[in-house]
Amino acid sequence: MNQVALITGGGGGIGGAVAHRMAAGGITVVIADYDGGAAERVKSEIAASGGKADALAIDVTVAREVKAVVTDVAKRYGRVDILANIAGGSGYTKRIEEFTWAQWKEVMDANLKGTFLMCREVAPIMQKQKSGRIINTASNYGVTGSALRTPYAAAKAGIITFTKSLALELAPDFVLANTVAPGPTDTPRVMEKESMEARKQRWWPQIPLGRTALPQDLAEMYYFLTTPESAAITGQTFHVNGGVVMP
């Protein structure tokens, strides 16, 4: 029986790469993204490669949408084996005194609240199954902090501790929860704002491996956390950043 993975942010750079990698590994992927068109595009790419995929539009910050999507997936496939929470991000770079409460809450909701809502709906399904893998997404900034990105760093730090707590809570039912923390990664969204030459000058000297990550580099870590080889790993944070952060 094929595993079923629900991937939020699956239409984005990292999320799309994760969806492709899991589908290549024989997993049926449900791509859930705020941008329904992007989710459909990734679905079509996977189908063209012979994989099994579905696409849904979702705003992970809206509880009723999260509940509806998770209920639909569980009814359609009869189970949810993997939840990869990749939706998130931050559109603000400013000093703390310049943040409005609405902007702060927007960033916290997109990252921490969305992760919580998805886990809240999926966890009981996995507990009933007595199996499941939850993979949440943090950032190197969730460990180091980041000037001018205070709400984003705070949200990602919250995800790390939330996931540890979730791992302890779900372990008796054989549900594993881990976090992947990307570092500087060459996603399409990032590359629209900054050329590769600019990224080389800005980031590469700071990274021990001498390069920024590719979405595929991250996808391999997410996929590993779905495999039998990771069956004894829970409550951990995996940094994929070329050595720029070594906590």
| Contact status, residue 60 vs residue 35, Cβ threshold 8 Å | no
- Residue 189: the pLDDT is 73
pTM value?
A: 0.94
Q: What confidence score (pLDDT) does residue 195 get?
A: 75
With a cut of 70, say whether residue 1 has pLDDT above it: no
Cα 133 from chain centroid (whole Å) = 13
Average pLDDT over residues 89-112: 95
pLDDT band, very low/low/confident/very high, at 17 (cuts 50, 70, 90): very high
Q: How far is CA 101 from CA 98, 131, 231, in A?
A: 10, 39, 41
Count of Cβ atoms closer than 10 Å to residue 154 Cβ? 19
Spell out the domain ranges in the chain.
4-240
pLDDT of 129 reads 98
Q: What is the mean pLDDT of residues 47-73?
A: 97
Supply the pLDDT for residue 199. Answer: 72
Measured between alpha carbons, how far is 166 from 207 in angstroms, rounded to an integer? 31
pLDDT tens readout for residues 162-201: 999 999 999 999 999 999 999 988 877 766 677 777 777 6
- Mean pLDDT computed over 102-111: 97
Give catalytic residues, as residue numbers.
152
pLDDT band at 213 (very low <50, low <70, confident <90, very high): confident
Q: Which two structure tokens, joined as six digits, stand for 223?
A: 């996929």
Question: Angle 13-24/36-48 helices, nearest 10 degrees?
Answer: 30
Mean pLDDT, range 156-166, rounded to an integer: 98
What's residue 22's pLDDT? 98
Q: Which CATH superfamily is domain 4-240 in?
A: NAD(P)-binding Rossmann-like Domain (3.40.50.720)
* The predicted structure's pLDDT at residue 206: 86
Mean pLDDT score across all residues of the chain: 94
Mean pLDDT of 88-95: 91
